[in-house]
Amino acid sequence: MHKIHTDNELLDLLKLGDKSALDEIYKRYYGILYSHAYRRLPDREEVRDIVQEVFVYLWNNKANIIITSSLSAYLYTSVRSRVLDVFRRQKVRNAYTQSLQAFIDSGENLTEERLREKELIQLVEREIAFLPPQMRRIFEMSRFKDMTHQQIADELQISPQTVRTQVRNALRILRVKLGANIFTLFF
């Protein structure tokens, strides 16, 4: 019905709300616009969506569209613009994905390190718990409360030499039980 109309006449009819004018524009340009977009973005579904969006936009904004060049130039520019938007979104998505992956990778390492550290601390605490009660108490006062040998001796009413001997014996036991490498990390 509208095959005899020029693009400008179809635009005028479109602005008046003539649905068949849109159908004719669609028939004239869909294939060309699809090919144009597909050369730049070889994703059939994405290209179909892009071209469809252009025609939906044309219909939804028919009363306000001002085309200063030709209809074909307007449609080509609209398609190209949407293809570029897809590339921008993909670039942002890729950057986000890389950033997220880097965060996950560092998080896994951090989590593994914390887990190993926690296990190591539990191992040391367990070995300290196996010390004889008086030796453990003196050792904990020395190492965890930062008390001097004299302060420990005064509090427990024992000689400073006994405190020194108990701390030295505790360290010797822990060195044997934990191994030299782990022992030097903590004491």
pLDDT tens per residue across span 25-82: 999 999 999 999 999 998 999 999 999 999 999 999 999 988 888 999 999 999 999 9
Fill in the amino acid letter for 183: F
Decide which of 185 and 144 is more confident: 144
**Do 81 and 153 belong together in one domain?**
no
Asked if the model's pLDDT at residue 24 lies above 90, the reply is yes
How far are the Cα atoms of 126, 137, 152, 168, 182 from residue 143, in angstroms, in the given order? Answer: 15, 10, 11, 12, 16
Q: Judge whether 48 lies within some domain.
A: yes
**Do 32 and 89 belong together in one domain?**
yes
Q: What's the CATH number where 28 sits?
A: 1.10.1740.10
pTM for the structure as a whole? 0.53
Tokens of 127: 């070995």
Last residue of one domain, picked from the residues 96, 114, 139: 96
Decide which of 107 and 17 is more confident: 17
Tokens of 187: 């004491």
The residue whose two tokens read 């191994």 is 179
Q: At what angle do helices 71-129 and 19-40 cross, to 10 degrees?
A: 50
**Do 14 and 92 belong together in one domain?**
yes
Whole-number Å distance between alpha carbons of 52 and 60? 12
Whole-number Å distance between alpha carbons of 11 and 57? 14
Q: Judge whether 156 lies within some domain.
A: yes
Q: Judge whether 164 lies within some domain.
A: yes
With cut-offs at 50, 70 and 90, classify the pLDDT of residue 144.
confident
Q: Please say whether the beta carbons of 185 and 120 come within 8 A.
A: yes
**Do 134 and 92 belong together in one domain?**
no
Residue 105 buriedness (CB in 10 A; 0-12 / 13-18 / 19+): exposed
Tokens of 41: 């973005």
Asked if the model's pLDDT at residue 113 lies above 80, the reply is no
> Domain limits at 149?
130-186
pLDDT tens per residue across span 67-96: 888 999 999 999 999 999 999 998 988 888
Q: Judge whether 159 lies within some domain.
A: yes
Q: Judge whether 90 lies within some domain.
A: yes
Q: Judge whether 25 lies within some domain.
A: yes
pLDDT for 120: 78
Whole-number Å distance between alpha carbons of 125 and 133? 14
**Do 15 and 90 belong together in one domain?**
yes
pLDDT for 125: 84
**Do 91 and 142 belong together in one domain?**
no
Q: Judge whether 106 lies within some domain.
A: no
**Do 92 and 161 belong together in one domain?**
no
Q: Please say whether the beta carbons of 3 and 13 come within 8 A.
A: no
The total number of structural domains that make up the chain: 2
Tokens of 95: 């950057």
